């Protein structure tokens, strides 16, 4: 997720990718709803009511992770996906052929997988057509899965959105061009432009689409349940929207961050060691 909100209680609080050279999980940190690393293993903690914390063996060679609603996904270095946990809607039934994947995204109960040929594969809960890929299914470079909607970024910088659209979260604002990054929340969406500005659309009941001024110099975005995060070029984090749990209160010093992640009620920032 990149970052995401799951309307069920978050079952897998965080996933941590650690280099296999590390001697113990305490040697390194990171994580959130999703993450990336090179040839790493997964450490999972939090609720395990559906087995979402039981990483299947062999727990090795993972490059990306995603935490959905009571289930988990892992992308292997060989381009295959591993899924475990709740499977009520087939979200752990991996599509065939399970090969040539380069990115993964988990929504509430549905998943997206980006293939090396630029096509997207979707599976799981499909009541709102969030797994029905619009044609042409080609030339995608980035994917994001929201609560019940999906986003795909094309090579030409345009965004394709489909699925649940109760709050306009699938209505990409014009001009639909020059996007480089996407993020999907529960009922809202974000897009980062080449000029470093953020475009937000969909549900705005908590101000999650009101990007604070100055809307400039952003390099990364993340969406929580009803709030949003943006990472600036100077390493600071900007947070806005629902803040009942303090998820928008960035701890001091707000500096030197290199990555961000957002969930329903908490936020993460990655900072390099001094």
Write the pLDDT tens digit of every residue in 121-154: 999 999 999 999 999 999 999 999 999 999 999 9
**What structural domains does the chain harbor?**
14-198 (2.130.10.30)
The whole-number pLDDT of residue 273 equals 79
Whole-model pTM? 0.87
Residue ranges in the chain whose pLDDT is less than 50: 1-32
Cα 102 to its chain centre, rounded Å, is: 14
Q: What pLDDT sits at residue 220?
A: 98
Can you tell me the distance from the alpha carbon of 101 to that of 193, in angstroms, rounded to the nearest whole number?
Answer: 25
**Tokens 């992770």 appear where?**
65
Give me the pLDDT at residue 265, please: 87
Annotate the chain with three-state secondary structure. CCCCCCCCCCCCCEEEEEECCCCCHHHCCCCECEEEEEEEEEEEECCCCCCCCCCCCCCCCEEEEEECCCEEEEEECCCCEEEEECCCCCCCCCCCCCCCEEEEEECCCEEEEEECCCCEEEEECCCCCCCCCCCCCCCEEEEEECCCEEEEEECCCCEEEEECCCCCCCCCCCCCCCEEEEEECCCEEEEEECCCCEEEEECCCCCCCCCCCCCCCEEEEEECCCEEEEEECCCCEEEEECCCCCCCCCCCCCCCEEEEEECCCCEEEEECCC
What span, in angstroms and rounded, lies between the C-alpha atoms of 6 and 46?
15
pLDDT for 37 equals: 57
Tokens of 51: 């087995």
Residue 3, pLDDT score: 37
pLDDT at 272: 79
């Amino acid at each position: 997720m990149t970052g995401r909100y799951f309307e069920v209680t978050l079952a897998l609080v965080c996933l941590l990718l650690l280099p296999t050279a590390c001697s113990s999980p305490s040697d390194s940190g990171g994580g959130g709803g999703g993450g990336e690393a090179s040839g790493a293993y997964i450490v999972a903690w939090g609720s395990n009511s559906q087995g979402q914390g039981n990483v299947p063996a062999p727990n090795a060679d993972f490059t990306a992770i995603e935490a959905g609603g009571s289930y988990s996904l892992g992308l292997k270095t060989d381009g295959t996906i591993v899924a475990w946990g709740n499977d009520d809607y087939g979200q752990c039934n991996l599509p065939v052929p399970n090969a040539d994947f380069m990115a993964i995204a988990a929504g509430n109960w549905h998943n997206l997988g980006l293939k090396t040929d630029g096509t997207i594969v979707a599976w799981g809960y499909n009541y709102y057509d969030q797994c029905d890929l619009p044609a042409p299914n080609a030339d995608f470079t980035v994917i994001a899965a929201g609560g019940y909607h999906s986003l795909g970024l094309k090579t030409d910088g345009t965004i394709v959105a489909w699925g649940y659209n109760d709050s306009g979260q699938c209505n990409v604002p014009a001009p639909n061009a020059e996007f480089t990054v996407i993020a999907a929340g529960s009922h809202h969406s974000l897009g980062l432009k080449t000029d470093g500005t953020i475009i937000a659309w969909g549900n705005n009941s908590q101000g999650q689409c009101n990007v604070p001024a100055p809307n400039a110099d952003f390099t990364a975005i993340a969406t929580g349940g009803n709030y949003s995060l943006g990472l600036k070029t100077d390493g600071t984090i900007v947070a806005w929207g629902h803040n009942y749990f303090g998820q928008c209160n960035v701890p001091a010093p707000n500096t030197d961050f290199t990555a961000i992640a957002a969930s329903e009620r908490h936020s993460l920032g990655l900072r390099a060691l001094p």
